[in-house]
Amino acid sequence: MDIEKVDQIIDKHNGEPSNLLQIMLDIQSENNWLSKQALARVSEKLSVPLTRIQHIATFYKAFSLVPKGRHKVHICVGTACHVRGATRILDTVEDATGIKPGETDLDLKFSLETVNCLGCCALGPVMEVDGKVHGKMSPVKTAQALKTYE
């Protein structure tokens, strides 16, 4: 992510230190992660110490300090999905992408996470990709669904 883009986001929030969290969220959603350069720039422009930004960036799970893939895959492993075979879905995704939960593949295509409940237990087992819910998954359907993402 280039510095100009960071500057644009900061300007959009009038360079107010009290908008720090919102600025960080915007950079996160624009870039999928918070690079050191971007955070250093935010610190400089808002005159907020880097230590505080670091504290916030590590505090909230919404932020990532390592690059994330273009598509965020969430596999529900809550009780209902677990009972309906979420582990087999997770295994399929792990095989298809070559990554484990919490990891990102080398081409930055997928990031895989497990989540505890997506709130639609009747659709279990559930896989969510970029906010889109794929319900009643089977290993075959999962592999096919993943193929549609570029």
Partner 1 sequence: MGDIQFEIDGQTVTADSGMTVLEAAQKEGIYIPTLCHHEKLEPFGGCRLCIVEVEDRGWTKYVVSCVFPAAKDIIVRTRSEKVDRLRKTIIELLMAHAPDAPDLMKLAKEYNADPNRYERDASFCIHCGLCVRYCAEVAGKNALGFVDRGINKEISFVPEIAAQVCNDCKECFPLCPTSYLQAAFVYTQALSFPDAVKTGQSAGK
Binding mask 59-78 for partner 1 (x = CB under 8 A): x-------------------
- Cα 62 from Cα 25, distance rounded (Å): 8
Q: Determine which residue in the list 18, 22, 58, 144 makes contact with partner 1, applying CB under 8 A.
A: 58
- Residue 113: CB atoms within 10 A of its CB come to 14
Q: Determine which residue in the list 8, 16, 37, 49 makes contact with partner 1, applying CB under 8 A.
A: 49
Among the listed ranges 23-31, 54-62, 94-102, 114-122, the one in contact with partner 1 (CB under 8 A) is 54-62
CA 51 to chain centre: 23
Please, which residue, 39 or 146, has the CB nearer to partner 1? Answer: 39
Q: Determine which residue in the list 1, 21, 25, 50 makes contact with partner 1, applying CB under 8 A.
A: 50
Contact 139, 75 (CB under 8 A): no
Please, which residue, 35 or 143, has the CB nearer to partner 1? Answer: 35
Number of residues lying near partner 1 (CB under 8 A) = 8
Please, which residue, 40 or 143, has the CB nearer to partner 1? Answer: 40
Q: Determine which residue in the list 55, 100, 132, 136 makes contact with partner 1, applying CB under 8 A.
A: 55
Contact 142, 93 (CB under 8 A): yes
Q: Determine which residue in the list 51, 119, 122, 131 makes contact with partner 1, applying CB under 8 A.
A: 51
Contact 89, 75 (CB under 8 A): yes
What DSSP assignment string belongs to 92-125? HHHHHH---TT-B-TTS-EEEEEES--S-GGG-S
| 55: nearest Cα among 46, 45, 47, 65 | 65
Q: Which residues bind partner 1 (CB under 8 A)?
A: 49-52, 54-55, 58-59
